[in-house]
Every structure is written in C-alpha cells, then in structure tokens.
Chains A and B, each alone.
Chain A
Amino acid sequence: MLRAIDRQRDFYAGGVMILVGAVAGYVATTYDLGSLADMGPGFFPLVLSVLIAGLGVAIVAGAGRAPGPEVAGPMAHAHRTGADLRGWIAIFSGVVAFIVLANYGGMAPATFACVFVAAMGDRRNGWKISALLALGVTIFAVLVLALGLRVQMPILKGWF
C-alpha cells in the first residue's frame, strides 16, 4: 500500500485536499453567507474551501508530470518513511490509554500506562526497560507536575 502511495503520492495528496475542500465547503454553505459589504459567518470559510479544493485539483493535475528524482540529502538517513505497525499502534494506544486512565484512574496510572505502552513500540525496548522508563516518568510527574505545578488531575482517583 505504501509503495502505491509513493508512486502516486501527488494524486492522493490532491485528492485529500479536494475532499477537505468539498466537505468544508458544503458545511460552509449551511451558514449565512451575507454579502461582500456585510459578510456572514459562511463567507470566508466558503472562500477558503474553494481555494483548497482548487489547489487540490492543481496538485492532481501536476501529479502526472515528473517531479524529478528525490535528492538524498543529509536528512535522508535520519527520517526514512517506512511502515511500522508496531510503533504506530503503540503511540496511538499510549495516548488513548492516557485519556481513559486519566478519566478513571488519575495521573499516576495514566502516566505509567502512556509511557509504558508508547515505549513498547520501539523494537529495541523490552518490557523491563519500558516499565523502568514509565516508572521514572511517573515519579517525575507526581512530584513535579501534580505536587509542584498543581496540574488539575488527581494522582490516584478516590485516594489522593
């Protein structure tokens, strides 16, 4: 799938913009447009939506033409774009875990879960290292953020 995106990247890029423009434009027409002298809330969003969709069309139109070879600069080895399902799932779940546990558990469990889950996304991190890192960050969070800066979140819901 990623290779296909690579080949036809601009085609998809323009497509996404056309979609964004179309949806935003449709929503904009449900607001009052007003006139040039007295613009309603829908006027400016509609202008922007049309612009975005138009640019999307232009990007698609340019997609067929050769974009020139990718120049491998010093950045090339620092950021390769490769599929990494394990990393993606871990980062996504880390944030979700934070939201859920912050709601039901408090800062300490939320912090631990977020860091632990996210850290497990890196192939070189085992569960021991991840747990240790998570514990360190949790202690920091409780001492500095909860007790020091008084972030408005209970440390452990129902207890502190």
Chain B
Amino acid sequence: MLWTSFADLAHGFEVALQPHNLLYCLIGVLIGNLVGVLPGMGVLSAVSILLPLTFGMKPVAAILMISGIFYGAQYGGAICSILLNLPSHPPHAVTCLDGYPLTQQGKGGVALGVTMMGAVFGAAFGILQMMFLAPYIAKVAFSFQAAEICSLMLLGLLAGSTLAKGSPLKGVAMTAFGMLLGLVGTDTATSVERYTFGRFELADGIELVALALGLFGIAEFLRGVNNVAPVNTGYTKLRFRDMRPSKAEMKEAAFPILRGTLVGSLCSLIPGTGPVIASFIAYATEKKVSKTPEKFGHGAIAGVAAPEASTHSSIQGDFIPTMSLGIPGDAAMALLLGALIIHNVTPGPRLIVEHPDIFWGLIASFWIGNLILVFLNVPMIGVWVRLLTVPYRYLYPTALFFICIGVFATRNSLFDVGVTLAIGLFGYLLLLLRFEPAPMLLGFVLGPRFEENFRRALKIAQGDLTTFVDRPISAFFLAICLLLVGVQIVARIRKTRAPVRLASTAFD
C-alpha cells in the first residue's frame, strides 16, 4: 500500500513537472497569491473569472491551475490580515487578532515569518493526509450505490449549509434554492425543459460561472462599493530580513503550529467544517492551553502560528472528499468539482483509478506549488506588500469587466451576462437579508446529481423509501444527518452554539 503510493506519486511528479503543467501551476499560485493580497477580492470570484479561460486547456492543467489559486490565496490572505488588519479572506480573519498587534509593535515581519513556517508545515501534513487517505476512502466508496451516494450527498449538503457561518435555517434554505437553480434546463431523464420560461438560452441550464460571478462578483461589489474602507498603509514597509523570527520566537511557535496542524487536519475530515472553522478552533485551543492566555489579542505569536497552520492543513485536506467521493465540502470545492465536470471528468470514487494523472498530478503539484509559494512570499515579500495598497476603487470596475467578458466567453452568449446581472441583484438582496451565498453554490453543483441518484435509488427499490434505511451504510449516513440536525436544535434551545457559533459571530 505504502509503496504503491510512492510509485503513484512518482508518476504524479512526472505529470506535474511537464513544462506546461508546471507553468499553469505557477500561474495558478501566482494569481492566488495576488488575489489573496488584494483587499476586497475574493478567491471564489477569482476562480470563477478564470474558469472560462481554462476551458480550452487540458483537464490536468486546468485543475492544477484552479487548485493553485485556492491554496495560493491562503498565503496572500495572511499578509492582508497581519499587515492591514483586513480579514478579506475569512480563514485568516482570526489571524488579525494577534497578527495586527504584532505589526503595531513593529514585529509584522516576524508574524509573517511564523505564518510561513506554519503554512509549510500545515500544508505538508495536509498533503500527506490526502495522499494516504483519499485512495483508501475511494476504495471504501467503490461499493456505494445510488442509495448510499444519495445519503452521503445529503450529509455533505446538510453539513455544508448548517456548520458554515450564519443561521443554519437560512443555510439549508440557500442550499435548497441552489439545488433548484441547478435543475433549470432540460431534465436529463425525461428531456422536459424545466424553469426555462420558454428561453432556449436556458435549455442547457444556468452556467456555473454565471451563478458564481453573480453571487461572489456583482453582489459583492454592490455591497462593497463606497463601503470598503481605504487601506491603512502605515505598516506596509517591510523587507525580507525583517521576516526572520528569533530562536525564542521559533520555539514559541513550534507547538502551536503542531497543534494547529492537527486541528486543521481533523476539521478537514468532518464534512462541512472547512478552514474557517478550523482556524477559529485552533485559536481557541491555543488560548486554552496557553500559560499566558492574557497575551492573546495583544500580539501572541501562538495566536498567529496555530490558526495559520490549521488553515493550510485543512485547505489541503478539503480536497479529500472532493477528489475521493465527488462531494465537495464548501463552495470553493464545489467550483473545483464544477470545473472537473466541465472538463468531462466524472467526479466520484472512480476518479483516482480512472484519472490517475489528475489525482496524483494534483498531489505532486501541491508539493511543487507550496514550494513555489514560499519562494514567492519570502524573498519577494516587498512586491506583495506594495500590491496591498492598490485601492478598491480601481479594482472593482476592472473586475466587473472581467466578470462580463468571462461569462460571455463561457459560451459566447450575452444572454448569460444578463443572467449574471440578475443573479447578482437577487444575490445582493439575499446578502442584505443575511443569507450566506456559499451554500447555494454547493446545492447548485450537487443538486442535479442528487436528483439523478435519488431517482435511480427509488427506481431500483421500486418506490420503497425504506431502501435508504435498510441499507446499512446509507442508514449510517442518515443517522449522522439526524445527529447533525439534532445537535443544531438542541444548541438552538440552549442558545450556546459553542465554537461554531463563536466562529460565525466573530467573523460576521
């Protein structure tokens, strides 16, 4: 088992080191880092804008690049949090609490140095976890049939919508709404057109890119325009040599990094708990075990090291359910799944066996990409810091144009640009009403596949709904679903929704 993994990984490196794959991996992490640094730009909108550009590429290159954007943005996001106190990337919001005080004390460089150490360690652990766990999970999932897949998807959808930030009721409503939007177009089983209102442009359904850019692009800009505070550039003079932590500081960071990494890797295994929750739990844990909890919030090194390590280990771990089961844990992974589908790669347990190039190439590219990111961020920190000062008022009009042209290029349709605008306006209304748009994307991507499996499961069982509880594995997943809902209800009654609630309120 161990040796085949290494043989497969060697094959992965062969794939990832092919010049054009390497180039796209580099472009991906570079764009990711850039997006992470620019205040007011989200990683989801960046991926959606670039998605149409990947349509002409080979699937492996496209997936390497898109993934690179995700983990690359985590490196940039930390810079933004520590030096500007701007949590434009939710997983790094908690880093502000101690990162910015450190900056104010003139130790911003050290905080970034510690972040880099945590990032590399966390990411390495996360990748190893994926290497050994994902093929194993896929093997177990091999025997799953429609009923099991259905229950598992239900679990993924429920977890993704209730554990993320915001009200769980609204989260589930958004997921269901997203699934409904996913059904627009021609029904594959009966060829009936649903919710197209007679428009032939909608017969193929709503474009994933149009939905994502409406929600995470236009809606976000409508909220951000004239509302994003100008950036305080007082602390952005930083050089390479400022980043070296002293021996004492390294010692102070070592255990928090280790604990943070473990928290992150555990969180990535629980569906629905992504990097945001991981970073928060890591911070809370660190504060609890610390001998000097009063230092937290006033520039504790551990308060930077632990959440950053956990973010990076859980970002890498997040890929596990997406690649091994075909069930994404959050909106970012839903986009990646969408990209796979667009490239005619069927996600699911068979992916690793049928497309070893993609899976092992991706893992190899994680190693390479993280290495590139360290080189990008440590010696070249000055460049990124200068980018922090690009004001939002130049960014959003430019990004708006890229949204328009990106949606158009997806299938050369201006109608889709109009759809994006409509989704953006409605999405803004939802934002005002405190709905979280992320679960909608999750529902959108999984909706049609859920319906397909639901239909198939009941067809096999001849309409007998008990098939979902008669099959032990399916019953097991449903039991966890019940547990999840039960915990939410109990917590609502008790009004103390422990770490998850804290996470959601602290970031809102």
| Chain A residues at the B interface, C-beta cutoff of 8 Å | 2, 5, 9-10, 12-13, 16-17, 20, 24, 27, 31-32, 35-42, 44-45, 48-49, 51-52, 55-56, 58-59, 62, 68, 70-71, 73-82, 84, 86-88, 90-92, 94-96, 98-99, 102-103, 107, 110-111, 114-116, 118-119, 121-125, 130, 133-134, 137, 141, 145, 149, 151-153
Decide if A5 touches B463 in the complex (CB within 8 Å).
no
B183 to chain A, nearest CB (A): 6
**Given the known A-B contacts A52-B180, A74-B97, are A41 and B194 also in contact in the complex, defined by CB atoms under 8 Å?**
yes
**Given the known A-B contacts A124-B393, A153-B408, are A91 and B87 also in contact in the complex, defined by CB atoms under 8 Å?**
no
For window 161-177 of chain B, which residues contact chain A by CB distance below 8 Å?
167, 169-170, 172-173, 176-177
How far does the alpha carbon of A149 sit from the alpha carbon of B56 in the complex, in Å? 10
Contact partners of B180 in chain A: CB under 8 A? 20, 24, 45, 48-49, 52
Contact partners of A80 in chain B: CB under 8 A? 227
The count of chain B contact residues (Cβ–Cβ below 8 Å) is 78
| Chain B residues at the A interface, C-beta cutoff of 8 Å | 39, 53, 85-88, 93, 96-97, 167, 169-170, 172-173, 176-177, 179-180, 183, 187, 189-190, 192, 194-195, 218, 221-229, 392-394, 396-398, 400-401, 403-405, 408-409, 412, 414, 417-418, 420-421, 424-425, 429-435, 451, 454-455, 458-459, 461-465, 495, 505-508
Decide if B87 touches A32 in the complex (CB within 8 Å).
no
A–B pairs, 6, beta carbons within 8 Å: A55-B172, A59-B167, A73-B505, A81-B227, A96-B421, A99-B417
Question: Do most interface residues of chain A lie in helix, strand or loop, or is the interface mixed?
Answer: helix
Q: A17-B173, A68-B505 are in contact. List 8 more A-B contacts (CB 8 A).
A: A39-B458, A41-B187, A75-B87, A81-B432, A95-B404, A118-B397, A134-B397, A141-B401
Decide if A152 touches B409 in the complex (CB within 8 Å).
yes
**Given the known A-B contacts A51-B176, A95-B400, are A73 and B228 also in contact in the complex, defined by CB atoms under 8 Å?**
no
Among the listed A24, A36, A71, A151, which residue makes an inter-chain contact with B409, where contact means beta carbons less than 8 Å apart? Answer: A151
Decide if A75 touches B397 in the complex (CB within 8 Å).
no
Decide if A133 touches B398 in the complex (CB within 8 Å).
yes
Decide if B414 touches A99 in the complex (CB within 8 Å).
yes
In the complex, number of A-B residue pairs with CB atoms less than 8 Å apart: 218
Decide if B401 touches A133 in the complex (CB within 8 Å).
no
How far does the alpha carbon of A59 sit from the alpha carbon of B425 in the complex, in Å? 22
Among the listed B396, B418, B464, B495, which residue makes an inter-chain contact with A99, where contact means beta carbons less than 8 Å apart? Answer: B418
